[in-house]
Amino acid sequence: MRLVETEPTVATSFEFAAAILSGLSAPEKSIPCRFLYDAAGSALFEKITALPEYYPTRTEIAILGSCAPVIAGETEPGTVLIEFGSGSSIKTELLLAEMPDLYAYVPIDISRAALDDAQARIEKRFPGLRVLPVCADFAKPLAMPHEIAGRPRLGFFPGSTIGNLAEDAAVELLANMSKIVGKGGRLVIGADLKKDSKQLIAAYDDAAGVTAAFNLNLLKRANRELGANFDVSQFDHLATYDADKGRVALYLVSQADQTATVLGREFAFAAGEHIHTEYSHKYDVDGFQAMAARAGWQPVNVWTDEQRLFSVHELRAA
């Protein structure tokens, strides 16, 4: 079983350079999480999804396996399935397999390569299905293919990728998705659930060190792409969980007083200093529905696994 997760965004070296220079110049240093997903980072993320401690991917797949027939039963023939991100083959295929009467499948992604890959995969498994890829940033207003005008729309945003965003940004993204599916359109979205902090931290600091390698790859990427000279062995991976804020935070922690040069600029790191690299927000069902309501979504259905590790919400645009 091969899991290919969505790349949140693919970003160029120029954007990476600008983000690193500004993020490391701030009093509280940070590097935006979208830069975790270069080729090496995407391969490491794929490994994360198979780790024993990383429950979200396999749990969401199991939930989708049982709720896909229900969602399909509510989907009128001629509906368009719109996926935000080009999609993990398994998750998308679980829905498509139950929906033989779709008008089209529209994957939206910022990466042309990811879209080409998704299109090839889906057309191979579902030969009759119209695939209409849209290369765009779904966080912004975008033009949809004219062929789908006037057809009912079902959005799909699995993976709890929404959890990377703080609430206001998440609401903005959800509102944009509601515009894209239109009044009466639906969204199926995965959201990781709040739970015991031990279990959360294990999921983001696994025993095999894959998540550590994924996080440290940010510095290796800077060395590769920007000619930086980080001594990667002098940084540690750290995962924390703040139960009040309901979020996991990832950091790279400097193990010594040290400096690194990036594009001719020298940055100093004190021993123990943190570089923030990612948030992963955790929700309860009510909290997620309340957040979605701020973006104009009404709850239709919600499914969780028996252990209540993960949730899949079905929402309708008011």
Residues that bind ligand AVJ (CB under 6 A): 48, 56, 159-161, 163-164, 204, 211, 278, 280
- Residue nearest to ligand AVJ as judged by C-beta position: 280
Q: Which is nearer to ligand AVJ, 186 or 281 (CB)?
A: 281
Tokens of 250: 């990832």
Q: Which is nearer to ligand AVJ, 48 or 317 (CB)?
A: 48
Q: Which is nearer to ligand AVJ, 79 or 280 (CB)?
A: 280
Longest dimension (CA), the chain: 62
Tell the smallest beta-carbon distance from residue 278 to ligand AVJ (Å): 6
Tell the smallest beta-carbon distance from residue 163 to ligand AVJ (Å): 5
Q: Which is nearer to ligand AVJ, 164 or 311 (CB)?
A: 164
Q: Which is nearer to ligand AVJ, 199 or 261 (CB)?
A: 199
Tokens of 233: 């062995």
Q: 94 vs 91, 150, 252, CA distance in Å? A: 5, 25, 36
The DSSP call for residue 3 is -
Tell the smallest beta-carbon distance from residue 11 to ligand AVJ (Å): 15
Euclidean distance between CA atoms 275 and 295, whole angstroms: 31
Tell the smallest beta-carbon distance from residue 164 to ligand AVJ (Å): 5
Q: Which is nearer to ligand AVJ, 237 or 316 (CB)?
A: 237
Q: Which is nearer to ligand AVJ, 32 or 163 (CB)?
A: 163
Contacts 24+ apart (CB under 8 A), 101-104: 101/75, 101/77, 102/75, 102/78, 102/129, 103/78, 103/79, 103/130, 103/148, 103/151, 104/80, 104/129, 104/130, 104/131, 104/132, 104/145, 104/147, 104/148, 104/151
Tell the smallest beta-carbon distance from residue 250 to ligand AVJ (Å): 6
Q: Which residue has the tokens 């969780």?
A: 304
Tell the smallest beta-carbon distance from residue 204 to ligand AVJ (Å): 5
Tell the smallest beta-carbon distance from residue 275 to ligand AVJ (Å): 15
Q: Which is nearer to ligand AVJ, 37 or 126 (CB)?
A: 37
Euclidean distance between CA atoms 126 and 168, whole angstroms: 38
User: Taking the CB of residue 65, how many other CB atoms lie within 10 A of it?
Assistant: 14
List beta partners, residue 317: 297
Query: Do 108 and 138 touch, CB atoms closer than 8 A?
Result: yes
Tell the smallest beta-carbon distance from residue 1 to ligand AVJ (Å): 18
Euclidean distance between CA atoms 40 and 43, whole angstroms: 5
